[in-house]
Chains A and B, each alone.
Chain A
């Protein structure tokens, strides 16, 4: 918490602050305003449809924040994060439906399973270079699509798995209205923001960035490259699986394509890619832009009777970002405004 406050604010004495401090303070204030605005939505005259859209945005932001740790800070373009999303969702769902274990516990089991899978996946793939790593992670998640379709008794096969509905229930972490999910997802995004900030400033984060920027130089400077990559992947996998628990409770259903499919893996990356890789604010801004655009275009698409326009928009956004703004919104558009603001 205190890292965001300028030195002057901490002591309570108004010292003359540098421009970077002023920007840091401004970023903190904007963040606080956004937080309060989102938190007060249920008390404002907005309908549940809009609140649900905000929850979707926040869930994708938290998934994007998790992916950002390994891809943005660590430079490993994982296309296989659907694996951790799917394991989180399926574990929570299966434990609840078949054994009556509440999601409050199930989600931790999912996180542990994800860590184990990440350990295996990582030890096979982390020594590979750039594109090969990405292709190997694609293979892992596509294998999971077929495997989850195969074990019908456990996963419901291709039809997927729907949670048993208990109405408004604390025990089952279910609700008829989206408001509770709004607070849960807002808590996730805030927590993940601080985790990202903490990682960026930690020894691990610095080592990850060094490995991302130049693996050989980092190794020469004494960074344990493989261990650093593995730690980043593990943190990211656990974060994804925990956010997946929230995803499952909100959507109430999961199927192989939604969990492990290529389209889902791409959607997980868009918040960080659009907003700015390796920055703490990137996934938040990018996720908000992404869901806003997809809601608007889907609404427009239904008006003219075309479906799937949101995917078209995702593709175009990906192209525009990669070709014209490789540093994302935070790095390219808001470059000056966010300079020195710890991003």
Chain B
């Protein structure tokens, strides 16, 4: 009976850490989901934008002694600018069609951004320290990492702000109109290219912000984007490409499944069930739980 109790406690612990980690996966992914929802662009370089956000946190913490949490607005603005440049240079040509060429162009962007980071920051793994680094909260029989709790809180706030922006402002309404039907939105006087660049900047800014939060407990290196990208894609697909809230929940699902696998089975294989889940979702429900229709 003790064994069962221990296993149950372990499972509950896994679920709690999974929710915390998953919230951050959620905020990592909503940018990708937004870009797909509005422009039908699968930005394979989204992970690279996150990576630059992580390096921003490292630089703030190591060179200036500023807590990465204080530079969130800076990361957001800088990455939004880089994202707009990326949109103007590359993705502008692919708006409206999630084509293979678009995916290849995004992969090209990812490689270029990754190697620029390697040239600037070097190939080593870097970490950032925050007020909360190394602190734990003991909650009944459970241990929760303080940086993860803070990151989760930031993730929830950021997601709510984005939802608020999309549902209460005129700009947000225009964005949703373009996402729904770009041609009709243009007919009723929405400046679609203006909306697109704004939405893409928001998507990139969210990636930068998420990166600066993530780096408080996850080390960064130039190819970290490629390591995060699978989770980002899986969270977005499960939750539904194009749905912000759905994607956030998708991230939490991913976190729980990953932590359960790691704690109850094998941490080296923690992502394998997620890949299987992705295959199943793509095969049987490509729109995810809350996604847009696929065409």
Chain A residues in the interface with B (C-beta under 8 A):
75, 77, 124-125, 127-132, 134-136, 138-140, 142-143, 146-147, 149-150, 262-263, 266, 269, 273, 306-309, 311-312, 314-319, 322-323, 326
Closest A residue to B294 by CB, please name it: A129
- Among B103, B115, B118, B268, contact of A149 (Cβ-Cβ < 8 Å): B268
Question: B165 on the interface (CB 8 Å rule)?
Answer: no
Chain B proximity of A226: nearest CB distance (Å): 13
Known contacts A77-B104, A136-B279; 5 further A-B pairs (Cβ under 8 A): A77-B100, A128-B282, A130-B100, A139-B279, A319-B105
Q: Is the CB of B115 within 8 A of A309?
A: yes
Closest B residue to A314 by CB, please name it: B111
Closest B residue to A317 by CB, please name it: B108
Q: Is the CB of A308 within 8 A of B118?
A: yes
Q: Is the CB of A142 within 8 A of B275?
A: yes
Q: Is the CB of A134 within 8 A of B111?
A: no
Assuming the contacts A146-B272, A315-B115, asked whether A135 and B100 have C-beta atoms less than 8 A apart, the reply is: no
CA distance A312 to B109 in the complex (A): 9
Q: Is the CB of B108 within 8 A of A146?
A: no
12 A/B residue pairs, CB under 8 Å, sorted by A: A77-B100, A125-B282, A129-B294, A130-B100, A131-B102, A132-B286, A140-B279, A143-B275, A318-B107, A318-B111, A323-B93, A326-B101
Q: Is the CB of A139 within 8 A of B119?
A: no
Q: Is the CB of A319 within 8 A of B275?
A: no
Chain B proximity of A299: nearest CB distance (Å): 16
CA distance A226 to B154 in the complex (A): 46
- Among B108, B119, B230, B283, contact of A125 (Cβ-Cβ < 8 Å): B283
CA distance A51 to B197 in the complex (A): 49
Q: Is the CB of A136 within 8 A of B115?
A: no
Q: Write out the residue numbers on chain A whose beta carbons fall within 8 Å of the beta carbon of B119.
A: 306, 308-309, 312
Closest A residue to B223 by CB, please name it: A263
Closest A residue to B280 by CB, please name it: A124
- Among A130, A139, A311, A315, contact of B278 (Cβ-Cβ < 8 Å): A139
Assuming the contacts A138-B230, A318-B107, A318-B111, asked whether A312 and B116 have C-beta atoms less than 8 A apart, the reply is: yes
Q: Is the CB of B112 within 8 A of A150?
A: no
Question: B9 on the interface (CB 8 Å rule)?
Answer: no
Assuming the contacts A315-B108, A319-B105, A323-B105, asked whether A125 and B279 have C-beta atoms less than 8 A apart, the reply is: yes
CA distance A132 to B294 in the complex (A): 10
Interface string of B22-34 (1 = CB under 8 A from A): 0000000000000
